[in-house]
């Protein structure tokens, strides 16, 4: 809890000098964790050939200015991401689940958030701004289609002239799993004709990028609950393209994002005399019962 990582990774270990390197843990909590201006990734979790399921839970995660020295190839190869989570790179392997509740990803070099290699990532209540400024195929969120699952909910992605919101790839497996998007606000920098993603929303690769103007008409990703387009100004209190300290992502009172989210958890059955509420999300977490038995954590 309350951990900060700054200016790590000078050894340039090609992905092994990440600020928070959580690879191999069976059950990990990270609450109020901040990773900024590190030379490789801000947060990294995952497994390689482990034979047990993993569950990582992040609450109030902040990652900005990470990936300063990462390169897309060569001896200093690494993904300059705010947070980047991997599975075991094989079909039918052990599960690797990552749940992020409350996140800010600001101007990380290659990617704000990503998952790959059969990993699973679910993000709630995130703000993404200016990520992927150093890599044209990156973006605020970068999804390797070989991942088992990526879900994004109640989040705001504000594009800048130098980045895109979504980048897609498929590095390890010949399969195509579409991410899940609901109750998010996606806004271009200046026009709905800007590129929303380098790949078609329905999963197919295309030489014609998807724009904000046509993203909502394609099936399988952007949903009716998402707010999309230049008219959807999130109305942050203040933004700055070079200084995180000068940025305030609180919403002004007239923001269209207010009251447009969905519930993180819903009751799955009628109440009883017991002090336990069973939710649909609880089934998703399976053994992660701590989330529902720690008073005040989700207040």
At 175-215, the pLDDT tens digits run 677 888 999 999 999 999 998 887 655 555 555 678 898 88
pLDDT of residue 215: 83
Does 169 share its domain with 291? no
Lowest mean pLDDT among 99-108, 118-127, 267-276: 267-276
Does 200 share its domain with 278? no
Does 274 share its domain with 130? no
Does 296 share its domain with 148? no
Exposed/middle/buried for residue 191 (C-beta within 10 Å: 0-12, 13-18, 19+): exposed
Does 199 share its domain with 287? no
Number of domains in the chain: 2
What is the rounded CA–CA span in Å between residue 135 and residue 2? 31
294 band by pLDDT with thresholds 50, 70 and 90 = very low
Does 208 share its domain with 105? yes
Domain of residue 54 covers 3-262
pTM for this entry: 0.87
Please measure the distance between the N-terminal and C-terminal CA atoms of the chain and give it in whole angstroms. Answer: 17
Side by side, the strands of the sheet bearing 43-46 are 20-21, 43-46, 81-86, 111-116, 139-144, 166-169, 195-197, 210-211
Q: Which two tokens stand for residue 282?
A: 């609880």
Does 164 share its domain with 280? no
Concatenate the DSSP letters of all residues of 242-259 into one string: S-STT-EEEEPTT-TTTT
**Of the ranges 8-17, 60-69, 76-85, which is most confident?**
60-69
Does 222 share its domain with 257? yes
Q: Are strands 166-169 and 139-144 parallel, antiparallel or unpaired?
A: parallel
pLDDT of residue 234: 97
At 275-288, the pLDDT tens digits run 666 655 444 444 33
Does 72 share its domain with 192? yes
Mean pLDDT of 95-108: 95
pLDDT of residue 247: 97
Percentage of the chain modeled with pLDDT above 70: 80
Among the residues of the chain, which ranges form H helices? Answer: 212-215, 280-285
Report CA-CA distances (Å) from 62 to 105, 118, 261.
Answer: 6, 24, 20
What is the rounded CA–CA span in Å between residue 90 and residue 15? 20
Residue 298 has pLDDT above 50, yes or no: no
DSSP structure class, residue 288: -
Does 162 share its domain with 219? yes
DSSP structure class, residue 72: S
Does 148 share its domain with 244? yes
Rg, the chain, Cα only: 18
| Separation of CA 159 from chain center | 15
pLDDT of residue 273: 67
């Amino acid at each position: 809890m309350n951990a900060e990582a700054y200016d790590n990774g000078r050894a340039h270990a090609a992905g092994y000098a990440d600020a928070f390197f959580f690879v191999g843990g069976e059950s990990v909590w990270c609450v109020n964790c901040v990773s900024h201006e590190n030379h490789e990734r801000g947060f990294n979790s995952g497994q390689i050939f482990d034979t047990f399921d993993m569950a990582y839970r992040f609450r109030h995660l902040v990652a900005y200015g990470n990936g300063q020295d990462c390169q897309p190839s060569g001896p200093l190869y690494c993904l300059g991401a705010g947070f980047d989570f991997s599975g075991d790179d094989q079909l039918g392997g052990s599960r690797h689940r990552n749940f992020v509740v409350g996140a800010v990803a600001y101007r990380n070099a290659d990617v704000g958030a990503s998952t790959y290699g059969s990993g699973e990532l679910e993000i709630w209540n995130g703000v993404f701004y200016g990520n992927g400024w150093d890599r044209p195929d990156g973006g605020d969120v970068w999804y390797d289609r070989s991942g088992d699952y990526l879900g994004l909910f109640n989040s705001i992605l504000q594009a800048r002239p130098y980045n895109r919101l979504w980048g897609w790839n498929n590095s390890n497996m010949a399969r195509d799993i579409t991410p899940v998007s609901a109750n998010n606000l996606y806004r271009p920098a200046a026009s709905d004709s800007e590129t929303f993603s380098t790949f078609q929303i329905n999963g197919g690769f295309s030489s014609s990028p998807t724009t904000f103007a046509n993203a909502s008409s394609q099936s399988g990703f952007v949903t009716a609950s998402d707010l999309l387009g230049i008219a959807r100004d999130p109305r942050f209190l203040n933004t700055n393209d070079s200084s995180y300290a000068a940025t305030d992502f609180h919403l002004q009172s007239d923001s269209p994002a207010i009251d447009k989210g969905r519930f993180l958890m819903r009751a799955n059955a009628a109440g009883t005399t017991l002090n336990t509420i069973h939710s649909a999300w609880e089934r998703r977490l399976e053994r992660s019962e701590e989330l529902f038995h720690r008073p005040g954590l989700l207040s």
